[in-house]
Chain A
Amino acid sequence: MNGRNIAVVYRKELKDSLRDRRTVISMIVVPIFLMPMLTIFVGALSARLIGRAMLQVPAVMIIGGEDSPQILAALRALQDVQVVPATPDYGQQIIDKKIRAAVELPPDFDAIIANGDTARVRIDMYQGEINSGFSADKLQKFFRDFRERTIRQRLDARHLPENLAEPLLVEETNVAPPEKVGGVVLGGLVPYFVIILALTGTMYPAMDLTVGEKERGTIETILCSPISRMSLVLGKFLMVLTASLSTAALAIASMGLTLAAAGKMVGGLSQISSMGLQFQITPQAVIWVFVMIVPLAVLFSAALLAISLFAKSFKEAQSYLSPLTIVVIAPAIVSILPGVELNAGLSLVPILNTSLVCKEIVSGTYHWGYIALIFVSSCVYAAGALWVAIRLFQREDVLFRI
C-alpha cells in the first residue's frame, strides 16, 4: 500500500467521474433537487388537497326521520353540509363518492329525545377516504353538540346542576418542546432520505470504476502499471466514498434548507399549526447525522465496489444492485414505523441502527451509549466490506470474469 499512489488514483478517478454526466446527476443533482421537489411539491399538493377537502360542502343524505321534523330541520340548517334527497342505494353512492356520508335516524327520533330515552344514530362513511372522513367529522360534531344541549335541557328540567353529567375533566398537555415534536414527526424521514441517497449516490460510480473498466477495456491497462492492487482498490474506494458522502452531505444540507419552507407550508394547516410544531434541524443534529452516516457510507461504498467488480457487465451489475436498494430501504422504512425504538439489539443491525439513531438525533435526543455502539458496529461492518472488496481485487477470476 502506498499513500502517494492511492492519492494519484483517487485524483484521477475524481476527475474522470466528475466528467461523467450520469455520476454528476446521481452525486449532485439528485440530492440537491430531489429534496426540495419531494418536500415542496408533495407538501404543497397535500396542503392544497387537505385544505380543499376541509372547505368543501359535502353532499350527505338523511335516512329516516320523516316522523322527526325537529332533528330534520336542525340537520338541514347546517351550513357546512348539503343535505340531498334520500335514496335506498345511499351506501353505494358513498362508495361511488356521489355523496360523502349518510345519517341513519331511528323511527320517532324526536319522540325518543323528548321522552328522555336514548336514540341510536348511525353515520355511514367511506373509511380512509379523506372527503368522507371530513363529512363524518362534521356530522359527529353536530350530534355531539346536540347531545350536550339535550343533557343540559334534561338536567335543567330536573333542576339538577350541569356538572352532574360531568364528574371529571381530562386534560392532555404536551410537555415536549415544539422542535422535539416536530423532530419526531420528521425525524424518521431525514435519515430515510439521507441513507437512500447515500446508497444511490454510490451506485453509479461504483459500477463505473469497476465493471465499467472491464467493459471499456481499461482494467488491463491499469493492471499493467506498477501500482499495487490494494492501492488501486483504495483509490477507487475513496472516490466512491466521496460520491456517497457528498450525496449524503448535499441531501442533509438541501433538507435543512427546504424544511423551513416545508414547515411553513405544512404549518399552514390549522390542526398542525395549532400544535406549534417546528420543522427544523439544528446544526448540531446535522453534524451528528453526518457523522453517523460516514461508516454507513463506507459500508455502501465497499460493498457496492465489491459487487460491481464481481459482475461481468454493467447490466449484470445493475441486476445485482437494484435488489440491494430494497434491502436498504426496508430497514430505513422499519425505523419510521411507530413503536420501533432504539435498543441494544437493534443497535447492531446495520442500516436500521443508523436510521434509528439519526431519528433520535433529529428529534434532539442523544443516547451517547447507543451512538458509540452504533458507530463502532457500523465501522466493523464497513471494515468487513472493505476487506472483501480488497480481496476481490486480488482475484484473477473476478478481474477477468468477462
Chain B
Amino acid sequence: MIVAENLGKEFRDKDRGVIRAVGNLSFSCQPGQVYGLLGANGAGKTTALRILATILAPTSGTARVAGYDIRREPEKARQNLGFLSTATALYGRLTALEMVEYFGRLHGLDQAAARRRTLALFERLSIDAFRDRRCEDLSTGIKQRVSIARTLVHDPPVMIFDEPTSGLDVISARTIVDFIRECRDGGKTVVFSTHVMSEAEKLCDTIGIIHDGRLLAEGSLQELRARYGHAGLEEIFMRVVGA
C-alpha cells in the first residue's frame, strides 16, 4: 500500500525564489485499489508521484511505499514499485529483451530469472516477436508494452503511473488503461495521475483533486458527486479548483 503523510516539495528558483510544488499532501491507497490524482498541468501531480517513486526527495513530510519509508529506505521502496510515465523512455540501442532483462537484473534477479520473467511477460503482452528488435526501431504501441514489461519484471506490489496515456493514440492509450485495470485486479496498489476526466472516471476507486500542489478534494466518484452536486467529473473538478 501507499501512505503519504503531509508530503511537501519546494524548489528554489533564482528568479522566482522558493516555489512550492507540493504542500501537505496526504492520502492513502490500499492493495487492489486505484487512486487517481486529478489535476491541471503544473498542479504538482508529477512532482508528487516522483516523490513517491523516490526520484525526488520531499522537503517535508514522508510516505510509505509497501511499508518502506521513502526517506529512510528509498532503495527498498523502489524495489517494491513499478513506475511508468511518458517520460520513462527506453534505451534505444538495446533490444526489447535486453531492456527488460536489464531492469530485472537491477531489481536483483539473476540472469536466468530475469530472462524467464521477461519472456513470460513478452508472451503475456504479445510482443515476443519484437524481443530482438532494438527499442529505437519499435512503434509507439510496442514501446509502451515494453515499458509495461519493464515495470512488471520484478512483480512489484505497488504501481505508480504518471499521465501514462499522455500523447498516445487511442489504441496505445487503451493498452495502458487495460493494464492499469489488470494491476488493480491482480491486487496491486495503483496510484496514477491524469488530467483526462474520462480515464479517472473509468479507473479510480478514489480520486484526489490536486491544484497548486494542494489536495483540495478526495473521495470516490459517488462521494464527489454527492458533495458537489454535479454528475460529471469535469464539472466537479471545475468547481473544486474554482475556475
Question: Roughly how many angstroms separate A23 CA and B179 CA in the complex, as a whole number?
Answer: 37
Question: Roughly how many angstroms separate A19 CA and B56 CA in the complex, as a whole number?
Answer: 31
Question: Roughly how many angstroms separate A221 CA and B75 CA in the complex, as a whole number?
Answer: 14
Instruction: State whether the Cβ of B103 lies closer than 8 Å to any Cβ in chain A.
Output: yes
Question: Roughly how many angstroms separate A275 CA and B94 CA in the complex, as a whole number?
Answer: 56
Question: Roughly how many angstroms separate A227 CA and B53 CA in the complex, as a whole number?
Answer: 13
Interface of A is mostly: helix
Is B89 in contact with A217, judged by CB distance below 8 angstroms? yes
List, in ascending order, chain B residues with CB within 8 A of A227's CB: 75, 106
A139 to chain B, nearest CB (A): 66
Is B89 in contact with A15, judged by CB distance below 8 angstroms? no
Please judge, given known A-B contacts A220-B85, A224-B55, whether A16 and B106 are in contact too, CB under 8 Å. no
How many residues of chain B are within 8 Å of chain A by beta carbon? 31
Residue interface bits A7-36, CB-to-B below 8 A is 1, else 0: 011001001100110000000000000000
Is B78 in contact with A8, judged by CB distance below 8 angstroms? no
Contact for A12 among B11, B56, B94, B150, CB less than 8 A: B94
Instruction: State whether the Cβ of A117 lies closer than 8 Å to any Cβ in chain B.
Output: no
Is A8 in contact with B55, judged by CB distance below 8 angstroms? no
Is B55 in contact with A223, judged by CB distance below 8 angstroms? yes
Please judge, given known A-B contacts A12-B94, A16-B94, A217-B87, whether A226 and B57 are in contact too, CB under 8 Å. no
Is A8 in contact with B102, judged by CB distance below 8 angstroms? yes
Is B107 in contact with A221, judged by CB distance below 8 angstroms? no
Instruction: State whether the Cβ of A228 lies closer than 8 Å to any Cβ in chain B.
Output: yes
Instruction: State whether the Cβ of B239 lies closer than 8 Å to any Cβ in chain A.
Output: no
Within 8 A of A (CB), among B48-86: 50, 53-57, 75-76, 78-79, 81, 83, 85
List, in ascending order, chain B residues with CB within 8 A of A397's CB: 11-12
List, in ascending order, chain A residues with CB within 8 A of B105's CB: 8
List, in ascending order, chain B residues with CB within 8 A of A400's CB: 56
Question: Roughly how many angstroms separate A227 CA and B50 CA in the complex, as a whole number?
Answer: 16
List, in ascending order, chain A residues with CB within 8 A of B87's CB: 217, 220
Instruction: State whether the Cβ of A79 lies closer than 8 Å to any Cβ in chain B.
Output: no
Instruction: State whether the Cβ of A225 lies closer than 8 Å to any Cβ in chain B.
Output: yes
Instruction: State whether the Cβ of B229 lies closer than 8 Å to any Cβ in chain A.
Output: no
Residue interface bits A382-402, CB-to-B below 8 A is 1, else 0: 000000000000001100100
Please judge, given known A-B contacts A12-B94, A228-B75, whether A221 and B56 are in contact too, CB under 8 Å. no
Within 8 A of A (CB), among B123-165: 150
Residue interface bits B165-201, CB-to-A below 8 A is 1, else 0: 0000000000000000000000000000000000000
B56 to chain A, nearest CB (A): 6
Please judge, given known A-B contacts A220-B55, A396-B56, whether A226 and B88 are in contact too, CB under 8 Å. no
Question: Roughly how many angstroms separate A221 CA and B86 CA in the complex, as a whole number?
Answer: 10
B145 to chain A, nearest CB (A): 15
Instruction: State whether the Cβ of B93 lies closer than 8 Å to any Cβ in chain A.
Output: yes
Is B98 in contact with A15, judged by CB distance below 8 angstroms? yes
Is B79 in contact with A216, judged by CB distance below 8 angstroms? no
Please judge, given known A-B contacts A8-B102, A8-B105, A225-B106, whether A396 and B57 are in contact too, CB under 8 Å. yes
Question: Roughly how many angstroms separate A396 CA and B89 CA in the complex, as a whole number?
Answer: 19
Instruction: State whether the Cβ of A150 lies closer than 8 Å to any Cβ in chain B.
Output: no
Is B106 in contact with A20, judged by CB distance below 8 angstroms? no
Is B94 in contact with A15, judged by CB distance below 8 angstroms? yes
Question: Roughly how many angstroms separate A112 CA and B128 CA in the complex, as a whole number?
Answer: 103
Contact for A218 among B53, B89, B98, CB less than 8 A: B89
Is B107 in contact with A220, judged by CB distance below 8 angstroms? no
Instruction: State whether the Cβ of B108 lies closer than 8 Å to any Cβ in chain A.
Output: yes
Instruction: State whether the Cβ of B91 lies closer than 8 Å to any Cβ in chain A.
Output: yes
Question: Roughly how many angstroms separate A62 CA and B161 CA in the complex, as a whole number?
Answer: 92
Instruction: State whether the Cβ of B90 lies closer than 8 Å to any Cβ in chain A.
Output: yes
List, in ascending order, chain B residues with CB within 8 A of A12's CB: 91, 94, 98, 102
A84 to chain B, nearest CB (A): 67
Instruction: State whether the Cβ of A377 lies closer than 8 Å to any Cβ in chain B.
Output: no
Task: For A394, give the chain B residue with the smallest CB separation.
Answer: B57
Is A226 in contact with B106, judged by CB distance below 8 angstroms? yes
List, in ascending order, chain B residues with CB within 8 A of A228's CB: 75
Please judge, given known A-B contacts A15-B94, A396-B56, whether A5 and B89 are in contact too, CB under 8 Å. no
Is A221 in contact with B102, judged by CB distance below 8 angstroms? no
Instruction: State whether the Cβ of B92 lies closer than 8 Å to any Cβ in chain A.
Output: yes
Contact for A221 among B50, B54, B76, B90, CB less than 8 A: B90
Task: For A12, give the chain B residue with the smallest CB separation.
Answer: B102
Chain B residues proximal to chain A, CB less than 8 Å:
11-12, 50, 53-57, 75-76, 78-79, 81, 83, 85, 87-94, 98, 102-103, 105-108, 150
**Could you jot down 10 A-B contacts, CB within 8 Å?**
A220-B83, A220-B85, A221-B89, A223-B55, A224-B54, A224-B78, A225-B103, A225-B106, A226-B75, A226-B108
Contacts A221-B88, A224-B54 aside, 4 further interface pairs with beta carbons under 8 A come to A5-B106, A224-B81, A226-B75, A226-B79
The 8 closest A-B pairs by CB, nearest first: A217-B89, A224-B83, A226-B79, A226-B78, A221-B88, A225-B106, A19-B93, A8-B105
